[in-house]
């Protein structure tokens, strides 16, 4: 099993450009998440999904959009990129709700995004 | 804002010394999970604690959950260079919040 796969690994965007970060998992997990990690900070939840067709905002959703058309895929869309979105983005999945029923998060390798 | 705080933010130890990181929440948690992130890597799940006062061990790592379920600690005995990384706690109440992390450097 590949687990959680994220693409691209690195990306440089100019201010105002748009892009989609791809995330796919092959563990048949219902729950998927997008986090961002800034230097010296913990991970902050951007959006999450409890199943295909269902998404909800996390702690820092502004400037991002998501969709969940299949169980496997959970892309993150950045519209009108801003320097404040320079960060490392991690996609994760879990069998059950995060923190419940012993459902650990499985993370992808991350996407390092720079907006200049 | 951040509801789960960790201290210290950074810790440098000589190889063989012990290390402890503390995780504190302003609210009671349902459970707490610990993750390790190697430099340049992604967080990897270590353990979950659920019960008040629970203590779990994994080889040289000891995890504790406070009696009031508002704090937790991770203690590493006799650190090795393979312990290098950032350790995060993550608490669940209504949302799953990650702590700010403790970055551990082990000096050979």
Domains of chain A: 4-115 (2.60.40.10)
Contact B92/A99, CB-based, under 8 Å? yes
- Mean pLDDT over A65-78 rounds to 97
Q: Answer yes or no: is pLDDT of B2 > 60.
A: no
Report CA Rg, chain B.
13
Per-residue pLDDT of B29-86, as tens digits, reads: 888 999 999 999 999 999 999 999 999 999 999 999 999 999 999 999 999 999 999 9
Distance from A69 to chain B by nearest Cα, in Å? 23
Domain B4-107: give its CATH superfamily: Immunoglobulins (2.60.40.10)
Contact B44/A107, CB-based, under 8 Å? yes
**Domains of chain B by residue range:** 4-107
Beta strands, E only, B41-84: 43-49, 55-58, 61-65, 71-76
CA distance linking residue B52 with residue A98, whole number of Å = 19
Residues of A with Cβ-Cβ distance to B48 under 8 angstroms: 99, 102, 104
Interface test mutation site (partner B, options A104, A109, A110, A112, max chain B beta carbons within 10 A): A104
For B3, B12, B27, B53, B85, the CA distances from B32, given in Å and listed in that order, are 13, 25, 12, 12, 19
Q: Is the CB of residue A2 less than 8 Å away from at least one CB of chain B? A: no
If you measure CA to CA, which chain A residue comes closest to B102?
Answer: A40
Contact A108/B42, CB-based, under 8 Å? yes
| DSSP three-state, residue B35 | strand
pLDDT at position A96, please?
A: 80
Per-residue pLDDT of B7-28, as tens digits, reads: 999 999 999 999 999 999 988 8
- Sorting pLDDT into bands at 50, 70 and 90, what band is A101? low
Residue A83 phi, psi dihedral angles, 5° rounding: -55, -30
């Amino acid at each position: 099993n590949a687990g959680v796969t994220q693409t691209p690994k690195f990306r440089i965007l100019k201010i105002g450009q748009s892009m989609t970060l791809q995330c796919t998992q092959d563990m048949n997990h219902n729950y998927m998440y997008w986090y961002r990690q800034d230097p010296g900070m913990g991970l902050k939840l951007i959006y999450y999904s409890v199943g295909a067709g269902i998404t909800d905002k996390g702690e820092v959703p502004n400037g991002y959009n998501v969709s969940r058309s299949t169980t496997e895929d959970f892309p993150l869309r950045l519209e009108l990129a801003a320097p404040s979105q320079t960060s490392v983005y991690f996609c994760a999945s879990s069998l059950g709700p995060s923190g419940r029923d012993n459902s650990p998060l499985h993370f992808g390798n991350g996407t390092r995004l720079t907006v200049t | 804002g951040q509801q789960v705080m960790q201290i210290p933010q950074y810790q440098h130890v000589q190889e063989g010394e012990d290390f402890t990181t503390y995780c504190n929440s302003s609210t009671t948690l349902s459970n707490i999970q610990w993750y390790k992130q190697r430099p340049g890597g992604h967080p990897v799940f270590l353990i979950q604690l659920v019960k008040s006062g629970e203590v779990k061990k994994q080889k040289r790592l000891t995890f504790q959950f406070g009696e009031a379920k508002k704090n937790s600690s991770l203690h590493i005995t006799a650190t090795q260079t393979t312990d290098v990384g950032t350790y995060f706690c993550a608490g669940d109440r209504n949302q799953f919040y990650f702590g700010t992390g403790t970055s551990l450097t082990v000096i050979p």
